[in-house]
Amino acid sequence: MLDIKFIKENPDLIKDAARKKHIQFDVDELLKVEEQRVELLQVVESHRAKQNKITDQISQTTDQTEKQRLIEEMRTFKEDAKKNEETLKEVIKEWQLLMLHVPNIPDVSVPEGKTDEDNQEIRNWGEKPEFNFEPKDHIELMEKLDMADFERGSKVSGFRGYFLKNDGALLSFALWNFFLDNISRKGYTPLMAPSIVKKETLIGTGFIPQHEEDLYKIKEGHYLSGTGEVPTMGYFMDEVLKKEDLPQKFITFSPCFREEAGSHGRDVKGLVRVHEFFKLEQVIISEADHEQSVNLHEEITANVEELMKALNIPYRVVVNAGGDLGIGQVKKYDIEAWVPSQNKYRETHSASYFHDFQTRRLNIRYKDESGKMHYAHSLNNTAVATPRFLVALIENNQQEDGSIKIPVALQKYLGKDTIS
RNA sequence: GGAGAGAUGGCUGAGUGGUCGAAAGCGCAUCCCUGCUAAGGAUGUAAGGGUUUACGCCCUUCGAGGGUUCGAAUCCCUCUCUCUCCGCCA
């Protein structure tokens, strides 16, 4: 959500934001409704002011006849206002719905483009492994080593179901601990967050109304969150924070659930795209300062790159094109790990910042030194998402005999140097 | 699942039909006193919105939504959440 004043003063910026993000939004329609809203508001408010005045008179009048007369007067006076009050309510409803669809302004450095194919690589790291044998994909590798069971996964859970078994399970725990350890050490507060979340948190973070179809709805008003970002942002919903307590940095662990609506033909096998997975997510609530947001965005990206390097997984960082940004994102980097079996980089992490888009919807504010209220800024990035991350880890470290070499940094977390 | 209690400003907490946007305390801000990193005193201090060059004026908000009433923090209904006791349970 953006400030309506800002929208009124900069309609062209909104138009351009919608264009760049390839989002349909009619700013003029909103401005028309806004005009109606203010106009009606003034009529209704002046009527209410009069009403309040008479009410005061009634309470102060000692003359009983006069009192009765005023009360009679109020009865008819109230009737007159009813219609305007009701119209105003409807206009506000319409206004609120439109406001939820106003896209946030993408940063000037965000490249033009419609889809993730237009994302631009800004750097890459690591040597793509050269195998002197035919590399296998993670499915084959994991099944051979009894690390995963996909057949029973779909028997029990259905499409995209999976079991992780033996070292497949242990490797997941090792990764979680590795990332949690290293990132919490940087001052991020470990948090285990609920996955069952209320609708407000999803509206607040921008997943509803835009992506409701990708959420599992479990009962009226309750959903399974697709990311720890949602409950972590909800953590401070409707709160006023102290400036000196910012930034708040979290490393959140949570199960994540995604319908994957509209992606039925993609990544149908294996662990790349599943309905339920686990994620450690970095979430930051910071001061309302663009420069600080930018710096923290680089920080949460660097946190991951550092650990990718420690795990010796070749990756690249792309800056996402306008069309690949969510409605609230100002800028986004994806970190993509090299996947040998597919001979391409696949997204394993996604780092974005939102300015006050989410905090405005969630009503997360802080007071500065002069006592002025501000909506905070928010950012987030994946730390590690399993089982998808296993794909890159396993495939890049496979040996000719089908065993998996464990990167040195991870060995102490798994307790061995090879899976065989 | 059964029974009961509750939800008030940044926080704690009074307030059961008009004088309440709301006592008191804490916290915070400014000033005074003191002169040593203590204590005391004074004043101020909710948010959002409309309007205004500005001072200001006005509207809304006491968990959410409806209702009763000339008038609701206060009465009624629905919902959400919290707490206590019982039951069940990893």
**A108 within a domain of the structure (yes/no):** no
Residue A199 has pLDDT above 80, yes or no: yes
A305 in Cβ contact with A315 (< 8 Å): yes
A400 in Cβ contact with A133 (< 8 Å): yes
Catalytic residue among A350, A352, A365, A378: A350
A35, A156: one domain: no
**What is the 3-state secondary structure of A349-370?**
EEEEECCCHHHHHHCCEEECCC
User: What pLDDT sits at residue A20?
Assistant: 97
Whole-number distance in Å between A64 CA and B16 C1': 25
User: What pLDDT sits at residue A264?
Assistant: 78
Whole-number distance in Å between A218 CA and B89 C1': 21
A90, A141: one domain: no
Residue A295 has pLDDT above 90, yes or no: yes
Pick A210 or A315 by higher pLDDT.
Answer: A315
Segment holding A120, helix H or strand E: strand A120-125
Burial label, A354 (beta-carbon count in 10 A; 0-12, 13-18, 19+): buried
Q: What is the mean pLDDT of residues A383-394?
A: 97
**A289 within a domain of the structure (yes/no):** yes
Q: How would residue A268 be classed by pLDDT, with cut points 50, 70 and 90?
A: confident
Question: What one-letter code names the amino acid at A388?
Answer: R
A139, A232: one domain: yes
A270, A327: one domain: yes
Q: How would residue A231 be classed by pLDDT, with cut points 50, 70 and 90?
A: very high
**A111 within a domain of the structure (yes/no):** no
For the stretch A312-359, pLDDT in tens is: 999 999 999 999 999 999 999 999 999 999 999 999 999 999 999 999
User: What pLDDT sits at residue A245?
Assistant: 86
A273 among known catalytic residues: yes
Q: What is the mean pLDDT of residues A297-318?
A: 98
User: What pLDDT sits at residue A113?
Assistant: 96
Q: How many CB atoms lie within 10 A of CB A69?
A: 13
A18 in Cβ contact with A106 (< 8 Å): no
Give the domain CATH number at A78.
Answer: 1.10.287.40
User: What pLDDT sits at residue A79?
Assistant: 80
Asked if strand B comes closer than 7 Å to A409 Cβ, the answer is no
Q: Which chain A residues in 194-223 sit with Cβ < 7 A of strand B?
A: none
Given A99, A131, A149, the domain boundary residue is A99
Asked if strand B comes closer than 7 Å to A55 Cβ, the answer is yes
Asked if strand B comes closer than 7 Å to A261 Cβ, the answer is no
Asked if strand B comes closer than 7 Å to A38 Cβ, the answer is yes
User: What pLDDT sits at residue A155?
Assistant: 93
Residue A80 has pLDDT above 80, yes or no: no
A73 among known catalytic residues: no
Closest nucleotide C1' to the C-alpha of A42 = B50
What share of chain A in percent tops pLDDT 70?
100
A418 in Cβ contact with A171 (< 8 Å): no
Whole-number distance in Å between A44 CA and B60 C1': 11
| Distance, CA of A175 to CA of A347 (rounded, Å) | 17
A84, A122: one domain: no
Whole-number distance in Å between A248 CA and B39 C1': 35
A77, A124: one domain: no
Given A70, A99, A128, the domain boundary residue is A99
User: What pLDDT sits at residue A64?
Assistant: 85
**A104 within a domain of the structure (yes/no):** no
Whole-number distance in Å between A84 CA and B88 C1': 53
Q: What is the mean pLDDT of residues A372-397?
A: 95
Closest nucleotide C1' to the C-alpha of A48 = B59
Q: What mean pLDDT value characterizes chain A? A: 93
Asked if strand B comes closer than 7 Å to A82 Cβ, the answer is no
Whole-number distance in Å between A242 CA and B38 C1': 27
Angle, helix A167-184 to helix A290-310, in steps of 10 degrees: 140
**A213 within a domain of the structure (yes/no):** yes
Give the domain CATH number at A300.
Answer: 3.30.930.10
Residue A177 has pLDDT above 80, yes or no: yes
Residue A76 has pLDDT above 90, yes or no: no
Q: How would residue A365 be classed by pLDDT, with cut points 50, 70 and 90?
A: confident
A388 among known catalytic residues: yes
Whole-number distance in Å between A250 CA and B66 C1': 40
Q: What is the mean pLDDT of residues A261-276?
A: 88
Asked if strand B comes closer than 7 Å to A51 Cβ, the answer is yes
Asked if strand B comes closer than 7 Å to A74 Cβ, the answer is yes
A169, A269: one domain: yes
What share of chain A in percent tops pLDDT 90?
75
Asked if strand B comes closer than 7 Å to A69 Cβ, the answer is no
Q: How would residue A77 be classed by pLDDT, with cut points 50, 70 and 90?
A: confident
A239 among known catalytic residues: no
Q: Please tell me the pTM assigned to this model.
A: 0.92
Catalytic residue among A37, A200, A259, A273: A273
Q: Domain range for residue A37?
A: 4-99
User: What pLDDT sits at residue A60?
Assistant: 85
Closest nucleotide C1' to the C-alpha of A240 = B10
A196, A325: one domain: yes
Asked if strand B comes closer than 7 Å to A71 Cβ, the answer is yes
Count the domains in chain A: 2
**A106 within a domain of the structure (yes/no):** no
Which range (A78-82, A377-381, A405-409) has the least confidence?
A78-82
Residues 6+ apart with CB under 8 A from A202: A208, A212, A215, A223, A225, A230
Pick A242 or A152 by higher pLDDT.
Answer: A152
Whole-number distance in Å between A201 CA and B3 C1': 33
Whole-number distance in Å between A363 CA and B10 C1': 15
Which range (A61-65, A121-125, A366-370) has the least confidence?
A366-370
| Distance, CA of A187 to CA of A249 (rounded, Å) | 7
Q: What is the mean pLDDT of residues A277-301?
A: 96
Closest nucleotide C1' to the C-alpha of A75 = B70
Which residue has 């994909």 as its token pair?
A: A137
A346 among known catalytic residues: no
Q: Which bases on strand B have an atom closer than 7 Å to a protein beta carbon? A: 10, 18-19, 28-29, 45, 47-51, 58-60, 66, 70-71
Burial label, A115 (beta-carbon count in 10 A; 0-12, 13-18, 19+): exposed
